[in-house]
C-alpha cells in the first residue's frame, strides 16, 4: 500500500501542475515493474486537443517508452475516475490495474455512466481500485473550479 500511495501522490503532483497551467487539474502515472514509466497531466487546452486527457497522454508516453502498443502488466494511477473515452483507451492498452482517486458521477465511465468495463463490447477489463487519496483529488478539482468562478 505504501508504494500505491507513493504513485498516487505523483499523480496528484501532476494534477496540481496541470491546474497551474490552466488545465482542469487531473494527473496520471503509468507504472511498470514497480517503476514509473510515464506521468502526465491534462493538456487539452495547451495542445488544442480534446483527447489529451491525463490518462491518454500518459498511455501514449508509456507506449512510446516501451515501444509497444499494449501495456500488459502495467498499472495506471489517475486522480479522477476516467471518462468514457479514457476507459476504452485503458482497455485497448490492456492495462492490468486501474487505481483512481475521486469518483466522477457526471463524466465517469468506470463506476458511473456507461460502466465500460462491464459491457460486452469491452474486450479487456483491468482490476479497478477506487477511492485512493479521494479527498485530495477532489479538493484539487474543487479549488480549481472555485478559483475559476471567482475570476
Binding segment for a copy of itself (CB under 8 A), chosen from 11-19, 44-52, 127-135, 143-151, is: 44-52
Site for a copy of itself in 122-151 (CB under 8 A): 122-123
Number of residues this chain uses to bind a copy of itself (CB under 8 A)? 37
Q: Which of 33, 121, 149, 151 binds a copy of itself (CB under 8 A)?
A: 121
Q: Which of 11, 40, 87, 102 binds a copy of itself (CB under 8 A)?
A: 87
- CA pair distance 28, 43, nearest whole angstrom: 12
Burial 24-43 (b: 16+ CB within 10 A, else e): bbbbbbbbbeeebbbbbbbb
Categorise residue 33: left if φ over 0, alpha if ψ from -120 to 50, beta otherwise.
Answer: left
Catalytic residue, chosen from 14, 23, 55, 81, is: 55
Q: List residues with catalytic annotation.
A: 55
Amino acid at each position: 500500500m505504501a508504494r500505491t500511495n507513493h504513485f498516487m501522490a505523483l499523480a496528484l503532483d501532476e494534477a496540481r501542475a496541470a491546474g497551474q497551467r490552466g488545465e482542469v487539474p487531473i494527473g496520471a502515472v503509468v507504472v511498470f515493474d514497480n517503476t514509473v514509466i510515464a506521468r502526465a497531466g491534462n493538456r487539452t487546452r495547451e495542445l488544442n486537443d480534446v483527447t489529451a486527457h491525463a490518462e491518454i497522454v500518459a498511455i501514449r508516453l508509456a507506449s512510446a517508452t516501451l515501444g509497444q502498443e499494449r501495456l500488459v502488466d502495467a498499472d495506471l494511477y489517475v486522480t479522477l475516475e476516467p471518462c468514457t473515452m479514457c476507459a476504452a483507451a485503458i482497455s485497448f492498452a490492456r492495462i492490468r490495474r486501474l487505481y483512481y482517486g475521486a469518483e466522477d458521477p457526471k463524466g465517469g465511465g468506470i463506476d458511473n455512466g456507461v460502466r465500460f468495463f462491464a459491457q460486452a463490447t469491452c474486450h479487456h477489463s483491468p482490476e479497478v481500485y477506487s477511492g485512493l487519496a479521494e479527498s485530495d483529488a477532489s479538493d484539487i478539482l474543487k479549488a480549481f473550479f472555485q478559483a475559476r468562478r471567482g475570476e
